[in-house]
Amino acid sequence: MGDDTRSGPGSEPTGGALLGTPPLALYVHLPWCVRKCPYCDFNSHALRGALPADEYIAALLRDLESELPLVWGRVVGSVFLGGGTPSLFDARQIDRLLSGIRSRLTLAPDAEITLEANPGTVEHDSFAAYRDAGINRVSLGVQSFDDTLLRRIGRIHGRAEVLAALESIAAAGIENFNVDLMYALPGQRAGQAVEDVRTALSFDPPHLSHYQLTIEPNTYFHAHRPATPDDEQAWTMQERCTELLEAAGFEDYEISARARPGKACRHNLNYWRYGDFIGIGAGAHGKISLPEGQAVRRSMRLRHPRDWMRAAGAPEALAEVRELPLAERIFEFFLNQFRLRGGVRKDHFPARVGAPWSAVETRVARLVQRGLLEERGDHLVPTATGWRFVNDLQAEFLP
């Protein structure tokens, strides 16, 4: 049986309940920055005046409470504090937030708890204080170690602040951390991109995010486009940096993320494996599976912090909430799992999508025949050609 067994994009599977409850994560959005970067299209806002930390944390906990009936009894495997610049909140405030989360949710004993942070002493408390508050993983927004390149992309920190932050992370004993790097920056040469990676490796990070600067709509750079390396130059940077990272023992487990064995970001893996996540805070997104109704619920909060804080905990805080039709769940499943080098786990499909594997057999067979996919036991793994044309793989499952 193939695709023609479905009667339409909103059709539900037959033959008994399939949808289960995948692993659960929590995303917390802390939306303020000292200054918004010209390339950033995230829901972040330049801080005007004092940080309303107490008010915002209280709103976060109200928001979380409103989600609890959907996840009773489930254990949270990871917490990610993203932004914005979460390190604008000091360690005492982060401690209060995490204590409030723990009193409302059951966290796994070994839960991964990540704080996004930017370098610069004006933006964060000591990393030892964050560790004592419960943070066990840091994602540091380095972007580059070159002062000139950092100025060109509007970053407010310099090389000295980056080095000091990395030394502080090491001194705090936080062994699980990520270095965030970008390449193809305005005026960047291949040698500079390689030197950024080489410098990052000197701090022995277990995880490194390495991705090309892209000019997104609704950003300053989109309206005032800088001169950036062309595609051939960017490809050269990627190739040379990849060689260096592979030689250092890093595995490119995800499209733009590399890690030493066993050090992949568990929170991000849960996204790409089509797990569930609660999203709280201004503009946060959430995805919750509801096996009783054989439904997957997507939600999005109001984007502006003030609007969201006024409504947090009430239905009015939701800008959108809807149940996904089956065809959309199928597309999301493959869209996410094709980001992973390990490919698609077929055993995840019925419980996370709510349909039998037969619903996609015809499309999968086409991709195998085209040489874009190959079957390895219970995995579907992109071939070398498939990885280069991953958009074609994902497009096969468009609703």
pLDDT (0 to 100) of residue 121: 56
Domain match, 373 and 245 both: no
Domain match, 72 and 178 both: yes
* Percentage of residues in the chain having pLDDT higher than 90: 85
Parent domain of 112? 24-270
Is 18 a domain residue? no
Which domain-ending residue is among 246, 270, 294? 270
Q: What is the mean pLDDT of the chain?
A: 92
Domain match, 188 and 294 both: no
Q: State the Rg of the chain over Cα.
A: 22
Which domain-ending residue is among 249, 270, 291? 270
Q: Is 15 left (phi over 0), alpha (psi -120 to 50) or beta?
A: left
Domain match, 40 and 180 both: yes
Q: For 41-97, how does the pLDDT look when each residue is reduced to its tens digit (9 = 90+)?
A: 888 998 989 999 999 999 999 999 999 999 999 999 999 999 999 999 999 999 999
* Percentage of residues in the chain having pLDDT higher than 70: 94
- The CATH number assigned to the domain holding 136 equals 3.20.20.70
Is 16 a domain residue? no
Which domain-ending residue is among 212, 246, 270? 270
Q: Show Cβ contacts of residue 174 under 8 Å, excluding neighbours closer than 6 positions.
A: 127, 130, 131, 135, 136, 137, 138
Q: For 261-273, how does the pLDDT look when each residue is reduced to its tens digit (9 = 90+)?
A: 999 999 999 999 9
Domain match, 263 and 320 both: no
Domain match, 300 and 345 both: yes
pLDDT (0 to 100) of residue 281: 98
Question: How many folded domains does the chain comprise?
Answer: 2
Is 143 a domain residue? yes
Domain match, 379 and 238 both: no
- Residue 332's pLDDT band (cuts 50, 70, 90): very high
Domain match, 91 and 211 both: yes
Given CA atoms 12, 13, 14, 16 in this order, what sign does their dihedral have? negative
What is the C-alpha separation between 233 and 217, in angstroms, rounded?
23
Q: Show Cβ contacts of residue 278 under 8 Å, excluding neighbours closer than 6 positions.
A: 24, 25, 26, 27, 64, 67, 71, 76, 286, 288
Q: Is the pLDDT of residue 11 over 70?
A: no
What is the C-alpha separation between 276 and 297, in angstroms, rounded?
10
CB 332 within 8 A of CB 274: yes
Q: For 177-210, how does the pLDDT look when each residue is reduced to its tens digit (9 = 90+)?
A: 999 999 999 999 999 999 999 999 999 999 999 9
Q: For 341-394, how does the pLDDT look when each residue is reduced to its tens digit (9 = 90+)?
A: 899 999 999 999 999 999 999 999 999 999 999 999 889 999 999 988 888 899
Q: For 105-115, how does the pLDDT look when each residue is reduced to its tens digit (9 = 90+)?
A: 999 999 999 99
Is 307 a domain residue? yes
Domain match, 376 and 240 both: no
- Residue 255's pLDDT band (cuts 50, 70, 90): confident
What is the C-alpha separation between 129 and 142, in angstroms, rounded?
20
Q: For 279-298, how does the pLDDT look when each residue is reduced to its tens digit (9 = 90+)?
A: 999 999 999 999 999 999 99
Q: Is the pLDDT of residue 124 over 80?
A: no
Q: Is the pLDDT of residue 16 over 80?
A: no
Q: Is the pLDDT of residue 338 over 60?
A: yes
Is 17 a domain residue? no
Is 385 a domain residue? yes
What is the C-alpha separation between 108 and 6, in angstroms, rounded?
38
Domain match, 139 and 282 both: no
Q: Is the pLDDT of residue 3 over 90?
A: no
Domain match, 198 and 280 both: no
Domain match, 348 and 204 both: no
pLDDT (0 to 100) of residue 182: 97
Is 19 a domain residue? no
Is 15 a domain residue? no
What is the C-alpha separation between 244 and 190, in angstroms, rounded?
13
